[in-house]
Structure 1
Amino acid sequence: MKNNANSIEKQSSTLQSVNYKTQMQSNIVDHNGNTLFSIVYPNPDKETLILLHGGPGFPSDLSAVADLLKDYFQVITFHQRGTQKSPCRDKDYSMQAYLSDIETVREFYKINKFHLWGHSWGGLYAQIYAEKHPDNLLSLFLCSPGSGTNTQWKQTEKEVMQLNKSKTSAWAWTKMGLNSLLGALGSNEAYKRLFKQVMKNYNEGFIATDHSDLTDDFYLLKAEPINKTRPEIIKYPLLTGLEKPDFKITIVYGDQDIYTTSKNFVINRYPTAQVFTLSNSGHIPWLHHPEAYNDVVRNHYQ
């Protein structure tokens, strides 16, 4: 890990990517008849970094995150089960199924140990994986991570709902409620409308609300994984955390993040973690305050 980090610090104090070096490739990974659309930035002889997008049900290539690190690591991301490019034929959205997806990707790319990065729901997904497979990890980076499973997920949902309500007019809030109801009944289009408003709320005051990194993936969103993953998160036991892991953990939030008091569940779960709160940032810190985010990334991978 230190060899990678040293090259990062020497070549770029701001972690700006050198685009000539690493080209993206995509692969379809088969998992017992289900398929996972994956992206890899090959980098022979470098350690591997797997990125987990948020959601569930709303995929992202996380290109801005990958661009930052693809010249110093082999970076891999994949669209999670049930989204447009990763059809889930067995309709299994249990946490065990999600964990097996990471294992399938790891085995497909012939990876032993790797760095794991997760954002929002992907940050909770990463925590669940870390608790089950700590021996596979070189480090854990939690970027505005979901706060927890079971009752903690319900508290997280309340906080997110309160933020969205505070950011919208009464009419916009009513439309969000209607689209949420229609989405729960299975409408992909209703959830697309809902998430467009959600992303507008998350980004307002930080970046343009039609930023391409956030709008290109709406057509890939699917209702099924949203509706079927939530009850699986709620039924999953509360996470116990990792008191003395043999790898580095970093937790980062924006000072205006969507999570409020529930953040303490994460912070208390990992007593050895370094915790950062970025000023002038919301839920997507690599876009809201990239300079500060880059500093945290550089601090982590050293």
Structure 2
Amino acid sequence: MLLSLDGRRVYFDLAGPQNAPVVCFTHSLNSDSGMWAEQLVPLLGAGYRVLRLDMRGHGGSAPVEGDYSMDALAADVKGALDVLDIKKVHFIGLSIGGMIGQGFALAYPDRLLSLTLCDTQPGTPPGSAGAWDERKQAVRKAGTVAVLADGTMERWFTPEFKGVNPIRWREIRDTISNTTPAGFLGCAAAIQTFDYEARLPTIKAPTLVICGDEDPGTPPERNKLIASKIPGGRYEGIADARHLPNVERPEQFNRVMMSWLAANR
């Protein structure tokens, strides 16, 4: 489905009973709301309403030219909730989706029932400026995000995943390749220019942090740091997984997620 936000198209998928508690998902860079397919069935089976949003320039959502800020991306989520008349959510975000989740928790604390941050960072990753500039330059030169697809898949999944689930592997790789250059460049700029670490102790929502034990891009140490800064924050590692543990190890991820949501329902 599509909604209009500030005159631009935003894709969303909303399923489940109308009066049920809402679980709102935000995805990683160069992905879309389809990365949460493995979580949909157990959540609907447990009676939740599930909202999955595509970031600007990703999936079915229209891009915006220029650099984005993390606060603006968090405001996009709030704007979508307002259009859909959803008052409060259990927020679950991964990678940049988890960065957006921190910004959302800081700016709109009254809209949160709980917060789950996955494989993410509390601020621009230390020493990452050069790598991001290289990726941005590669996309500008090629005119497509497809140039990043293979390297991204190596960071996102252990080598075993392609053999175990080749169809899902190809779906995700194709999604990376078809992300709009403007969406990638804008979101990459947001990752390069944010820092929520000092403000994390002000977050009041019950917070769970999850990370794949083998994630090279948003490593467990950085996720444990987030959990340690937020009062009452809890950390859970997912073994034998890299950047998308919800896809690579859905049984383990869903067990942690469903237990957490039930405790905060």
Which TM-score bucket, shorter chain as reference? 0.7 to 0.9
Label 1:156 to 1:290 Cα distance change in 2 as closer, same or farther (>3 A).
farther
Whether the 8 Å CA contact 1:118–1:141 is kept in 2: the answer is yes
- Name the CA distance, whole Å, in 2 between partners of 1:41 and 1:91: 32
Label 1:43 to 1:196 Cα distance change in 2 as closer, same or farther (>3 A).
farther
Whether the 8 Å CA contact 1:34–1:90 is kept in 2: the answer is no
Q: Counterpart in 2 of 1:14?
A: none
How many aligned residue pairs are there? 252
- Report % sequence identity: 18
Asked if 1:187 corresponds to 2:161, the answer is no
Whether the 8 Å CA contact 1:207–1:287 is kept in 2: the answer is no
Whichever of the two has the greater Rg, that structure is 1
Amino acid at match of 1:67: V
Label 1:276 to 1:192 Cα distance change in 2 as closer, same or farther (>3 A).
same
- Name the CA distance, whole Å, in 1 between partners of 2:107 and 2:155: 34
Label 1:47 to 1:85 Cα distance change in 2 as closer, same or farther (>3 A).
same
Q: Which runs of 5+ in 2 are unaligned?
A: none
Show CA shifts across 1:112-154 (max 9, x none): 1111000111111111111111111000011212x123xxx14
Which 4+ runs in 1 deviate beyond 4 A?
89-92
Q: Counterpart in 1 of 2:17?
A: 43
Amino acid at match of 1:222: T
Asked if 1:64 corresponds to 2:38, the answer is yes
Instruction: Name the structure where helix makes up a greater proportion of residues.
Output: 2
- Name the CA distance, whole Å, in 2 between partners of 1:227 and 1:206: 30
Offset of 1:93 from its aligned partner?
A: 2.1
Aligned pairs (5 A) from 1:76-155:
76-83=51-58, 85-89=60-64, 91=66, 93-145=68-120, 147-149=121-123, 153-155=124-126
Label 1:86 to 1:156 Cα distance change in 2 as closer, same or farther (>3 A).
farther
Offset of 1:97 from its aligned partner?
A: 2.6
Offset of 1:224 from its aligned partner?
A: 1.2
Q: Counterpart in 2 of 1:15?
A: none
Whether the 8 Å CA contact 1:248–1:273 is kept in 2: the answer is yes
- Name the CA distance, whole Å, in 1 between partners of 2:74 and 2:203: 19
Q: Which runs of 5+ in 1 are unaligned?
A: 1-26, 162-176
TM-score, normalised via structure 2 length: 0.83
Whether the 8 Å CA contact 1:180–1:194 is kept in 2: the answer is no
Aligned pairs (5 A) from 1:135-284:
135-145=110-120, 147-149=121-123, 153-155=124-126, 157=128, 181-185=137-141, 187-188=143-144, 191-208=145-162, 210-212=166-168, 213-243=171-201, 245-258=203-216, 259-260=218-219, 261-284=221-244
**Superposition RMSD in Å:** 2.7
Q: Counterpart in 2 of 1:3?
A: none
Q: Counterpart in 2 of 1:170?
A: none
TM-score, normalised via structure 1 length: 0.74
